[in-house]
Structure 1
Amino acid sequence: MRTKNELYQEALRTVARRRQTARAKAEDARAEAEAAVPGLRHAEEEVRVRGIRCALAGAAGRDRTDAAAALTDARKKLADLLASSGRPADALEPHFTCRLCEDTGIVDGRTCSCVHKVMQQLRRSEIEALSSLSISSFDTMELRYYPARMDASLGEPVRSYMSTLLDDLRGYADEFDTTSESLMLLGNAGLGKTHAALAIAGEVLEKGFDVIYVSSPDFFSKLEALHFGSDPAGEEEMLLRTAAGADLLILDDLGSEFNSSFLISTLYSLLNNRLGAKLPTIVTTNITDGALLEKLYTEKISSRLSSFVPFLFMGDDIRAQKAEEV
């Protein structure tokens, strides 16, 4: 898990590599064209010289009409020469990925939108690596896997109930901002809770917010190992600070981790900090019994989680159904 600043620095390096690659390719293209097209090097030099003279005339306050006309004529001759060899007029220029900032990462003294886009892509890749699932959309959550049978406890078919539930989660993603409520997606294993959480993550990332995903057992076991082991770089504090300050935190599979006093205190601190900062969190868990949740995590944590909006997933194990289809 990288901090937002680490993500920003990596995005800047990515954009810088794009600029370096574009310029290197342009140099290769220029060398190849100059070798193949007689007079091309002279035509390029004419454009350069005429451009300098035009700039000097403007800087000196002199009339630039003749200098500008000479520059235009030199550029036309270069373009005609390139065209005669089957090359476009910009064949010798670098082709940057972002035309707005020309892969510098800066526009008018501000970070270019292309850097933020790279940050989103990097975070998306990180989440997919940590979750072992692709960030997809709600469109890939097929209702056919939820049974059409009537459920007495719901008073309606499971499929129609889940259709409404997923529509509500889609609406949450569409309207997300840092004042959105926290959610608890609960239900038996294999019903699409993580899939739905990641679908929300994808939408939220596209809106420009930063999302941190952590698998509860992996996250807390790593924190505990750092806490009671060697941590010269202060990674434990960095991980906790990053999770606590994310625009949206997804805490996946709560209840599958090894329970300990360290887990209880750390989870309480994390939830309390985020609730205090009014930052939304999404928790997924297989624990549907509130009494069991309180027994596992104490009344204080259960009280914090009770403020989350619950979404109860119903149905039959979708993973098992898909395995039978193979």
Structure 2
Amino acid sequence: MTKCLICQDRGLILNEKGEYEKCQCLSKKDLSLKQEKSFIPPLYRNMTFADFDLSYYSKYHIDRERNISYYESAQRALKAAINFVKLLTTNQPVKGLYFSGPVGSGKTLLAAIIANEALKAGKDVLFVVVPEYLEKIKQSFGDENDGYLIEKALSTELLILDDLGAHNYTEWTKNTLYLIINHRLYYQLPVVITTNISLEDLENYLGERTTSRIFELCHHYWLPVDLDIRLRKTRGM
């Protein structure tokens, strides 16, 4: 059964100039493969900036510490993400992003959209959920590909560290994260971080050295919500 109605699964189409070019179905397959290799969660692979819905953020509730509404705070984060992608994909210097906020505030969605857009522009991306990633590194010790996960995190053009939460960080995990953050700071390689820890409280979990480097490496954006967005979607709210 033919899947693509444009090229009839041949992969090539004839353009207006009479030249053969790659069909868009192949481009989608290429992107899907890149997303899989980059570890972007399947749930977020079709997401674009149009899917980041600002209506979930209240215009009436005020973040007293920053003296702006939840809506304005989310709007700032969205604009920062769009600008980040623009700079990254046009090979301009770009500082990383640190998205903090409660569970279900859209942090991972925004980070995944950034990853998708970067991949579309041909950038090398690695998206890792921090606790799972650190466990995979431990399990890989002694394997044939020992060191690959660390090397990938050090060298990839864009690293997404998702869920840098309030976990039980051992000295080994702290040192591993420091190694990655420090290397990327020195080589000016951007990082996007999502976490439920405010930048002010981060030192209590990761220590002074790593926190200081994240301060230098990233701009901080806060995503506040009244209720977990996932729950609101499930309940049709």
TM-score by length of 2: 0.80
1:234 pairs with 126, 142, 145, which one? 145
- For these two proteins, the number of residue pairs brought into alignment is 217
- 3-state secondary structure, aligned to 1:191: coil
Structure 2 counterpart of 1:186, from 100, 105, 112? 100
Query: CA 1:257/1:217 → structure 2, altered by over 3 Å: closer, same or farther?
Result: farther
Partner of 1:320: 231
Match of residue 86 from structure 2? 174
Unaligned runs of 5+ in 1: 1-93, 101-113
Question: Which residue pairs with 1:142 in the alignment?
Answer: 53
Return the offset for 1:115.
Answer: 8.9
Matches within 5 A, 1:188-203: 188-203=102-117
d(CA) in 1 for partners of 2:115, 2:137: 23
| Counterpart residue number, 2:123 | 209
Distance in structure 1 (CA, Å) of the matches to 2:148 and 2:196: 28
SS in 2 for 1:123: helix
**CA shift in 2, pair 1:95/1:182, >3 Å:** closer
1:120 aligns to what? 31
| Aligned counterpart for 1:286 among listed residues 196, 199, 202 | 196
Residue from 148, 158, 161 that aligns with 2:70: 158
Of Structure 1 and Structure 2, the greater helix share is in 1
Amino acid in the other structure paired with 2:84: Y
* Identity level (%): 28
Higher Cα Rg, which structure: 1
Cα–Cα, structure 1 residues 298 and 95, in superposed 2: closer, same or farther, change >3 Å?
Answer: closer
For 2:79 and 2:234, locate their aligned partners in 1 and report how far apart those are by CA, in whole Å. Answer: 26
Structure 2 unaligned spans of 5+: 1-7, 15-24
Corresponding residue for 2:208? 299
Checking the alignment, whether the CA contact within 8 Å between 2:40 and 2:112 is kept in structure 1 is no
Q: Shift in Å at residue 257 of structure 1?
A: 4.3
More displaced stretch, 237-246 vs 150-159: 150-159
* Larger deviation, residues 158-167 vs 308-317: 158-167
How far apart are residue 176 of structure 1 and its match? 1.6
Greater displacement, 293-302 / 143-152: 143-152
Kindly state the Cα deviation for residue 149 of structure 1 after the two structures are TM-superposed.
1.0
Are residues 1:252 and 2:162 paired?
yes
Shift of 1:150: 3.8
1:95–1:166 Cα change, 3 Å: closer
* TM superposition shift of 1:274: 1.3
| Matched residue type, 2:65 | S
Instruction: Output the amino acid matched with 2:205.
Output: L
Separation of aligned partners in 2, 1:273 and 1:146: 35
| Residue identity in the other structure for 2:202 | L
Give the aligned partner of residue 224 of structure 1.
138
Aligned 8 A contact 1:201 1:211 in 2: yes
**What is the TM-score when the length of structure 1 is the normalising length?**
0.60
Task: Supply the AA of the counterpart residue of 2:117.
Answer: E
Q: Which residue of 2 aligns with 1:22?
A: none
- Give the structure, 1 or 2, with the largest relative contact order (CA under 8 Å, sep 6 or more): 2
Show the 5 A alignment for 1:97-116: 97-98=11-12
Task: Confirm or deny: 8 A CA contact 1:216 1:257 kept in the other structure.
Answer: no
Shift of 1:314: 1.4
